């Protein structure tokens, strides 16, 4: 496919955008399909009003700090569709039961806290910045050492890693860095009724596993601890990867698309990690901030973990934004000026692109920052 060129353009996308214009990337398939770069004389986010349901939205998940002390009750779904549910949860005390999700894989991102993830595969310590992959049907419980806050991503399809293509198999992290649990020689069960190194005792001689299937819980009771695995082998298990072990790729002369930061993929979902990295300082004509776009084939969700979010004024750690298909987003006008002398970003954020539109739940509505869609006019 040979691109057509009409009017004033930048022949190299994202570099030397014509004076007095801003660049929009209008593209199919999340920047991987057919595209057009549109050079506009106004930022497409410069609306004076929006009437109707389609708006960029922001939710302050950290605002709802209420906990009942129960993991499942406290992990509140914020956004969902048939492929993925995105929840935010808190764990303040060791769970008194094991949980098994038979509806999907779970990806837990540890926003705050440390502790242990006990599962069929053995215990695994977790800390801030960890991704914990829990395959569908694995029994587990969380034993926090301190107040733990989690972004919970539940996918209908199997979670895997993206094809690294020309980058090779050891970028952006070496797969050898992925940690898996080691079971203890006796398993985690114990005839005395107490798990070695753990606090989960039998309740009236029974251990409980709560199984979620089609959204409903079934309570299965055992007269022994069901985490009795003493050994395992194979290619499927709980996994841990810390964002500090991810080494983002960048170019000092070209603004790479978000897909360069993909960490996990599943059916209809891509999870990317934005990390501290050098900016495009090798060519003053290269753009340092993302181009405008209306991501017509994907809804786009960002969870802000820590740092300075230079392209988004007013965004704090613990916030979640939703930029739905069909309406533009991109840097706030002031962000372009703010980056002029900046050489590095210092931000950690988790992004999800979903092929199908997401619905916000009442839990998200309750913590919405209502005027977020106006934030580009400042």
Contact positions vs Fe ion (CB under 5 A): 300
Smallest distance from the beta carbon of 23 to Fe ion, in angstroms?
14
Residue among 87 and 352 whose Cβ is closer to Fe ion? 352
DSSP 328-361: -B---HHHHHHTTT--EEEEEEEEEEESS--EE-
Peptide bond into 258 cis (omega under 30): no
Which is nearer to Fe ion, 130 or 300 (by Cβ)? 300
Closer to Fe ion by CB, 64 or 300: give it.
300
Cβ 56 to Fe ion shortest distance, Å: 10
The nearer residue to Fe ion, 30 or 113, going by C-beta atoms, is 30
**Nearest-angstrom CA–CA distance, 304 and 309:** 8
Query: Within a 13 Å sphere around the CA of 297, how many CA atoms are in the beta-carbon half?
Result: 14
Tokens of 85: 């549910």
CB of 124 to Fe ion, least distance (A): 33
| Tokens found for residue 114 | 């440390």
Q: How far is the CB of 311 from Fe ion (least distance, A)?
A: 10
Tell me whether residue 140 or residue 291 sits nearer to Fe ion (CB atom).
291
3-class DSSP assignment, residue 103:
coil
Other Cβ atoms closer than 10 A to 298: 23
| CA dist., res. 143 & res. 211, Å (int) | 18
Query: Which residue's beta carbon is nearest to the bound Fe ion?
Result: 300
Query: Residue 296 CB, nearest distance to Fe ion (Å)?
Result: 11
Query: Closest separation between CB of residue 6 and Fe ion, Å?
Result: 25
Nearer of residues 280 and 300 to Fe ion, judged by Cβ: 300
C-alpha 299/C-alpha 327 separation (Å) is 10
Q: Do residues 145 and 114 lie in contact, with contact meaning Cβ atoms separated by under 8 Å?
A: yes
């Amino acid at each position: 496919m040979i691109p057509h060129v009409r009017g004033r353009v930048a022949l190299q996308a994202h570099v030397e955008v014509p004076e007095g214009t801003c660049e929009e990337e209008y593209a199919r398939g999340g920047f991987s399909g057919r595209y057009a770069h549109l050079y506009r004389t106004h930022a497409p986010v410069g609306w004076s009003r929006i009437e109707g349901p389609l708006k960029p939205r922001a939710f302050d998940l950290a605002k709802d700090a209420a906990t009942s002390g129960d993991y499942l009750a406290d992990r509140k779904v914020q956004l969902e569709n048939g492929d993925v549910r995105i929840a935010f949860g808190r764990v303040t005390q060791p769970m008194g039961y094991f949980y098994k999700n038979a509806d999907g894989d779970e990806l837990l991102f540890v926003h705050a806290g440390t502790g242990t993830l006990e599962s069929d595969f053995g215990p695994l310590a977790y800390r801030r910045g960890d991704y914990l992959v829990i395959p569908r049907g694995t029994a587990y419980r969380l034993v926090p050492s301190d107040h733990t806050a989690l972004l919970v991503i539940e996918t209908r399809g199997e979670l895997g890693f993206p094809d690294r293509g020309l980058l090779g198999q050891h970028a952006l992290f070496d797969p050898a860095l992925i940690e898996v649990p080691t079971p203890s020689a006796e398993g985690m069960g114990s005839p005395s009724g107490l798990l070695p190194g753990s606090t989960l005792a039998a309740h009236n001689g029974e251990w409980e596993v709560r199984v979620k299937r089609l959204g409903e819980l079934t309570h299965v009771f055992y007269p022994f601890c069901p985490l009795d695995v003493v050994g395992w082998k194979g290619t499927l298990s709980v996994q841990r990867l810390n964002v500090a072990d991810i080494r983002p790729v960048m170019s000092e002369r070209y603004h790479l698309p978000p897909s360069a930061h993909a960490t996990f993929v599943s059916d209809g979902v891509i999870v990317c990690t934005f990390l501290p990295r050098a900016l495009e300082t090798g060519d003053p004509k290269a753009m340092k901030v993302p181009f405008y776009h209306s991501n017509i084939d994907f809804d786009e969700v960002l969870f802000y973990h820590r740092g300075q979010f230079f392209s988004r004024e007013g965004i704090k750690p613990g916030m979640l934004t939703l930029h739905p298909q069909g309406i533009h987003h991109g840097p706030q006008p002031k962000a372009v000026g703010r980056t002029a002398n900046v050489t590095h970003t210092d931000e950690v954020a988790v992004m999800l692109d979903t092929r199908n539109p997401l619905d916000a739940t009442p839990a998200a509505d309750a913590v919405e920052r209502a005027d977020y869609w106006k934030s580009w006019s400042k």
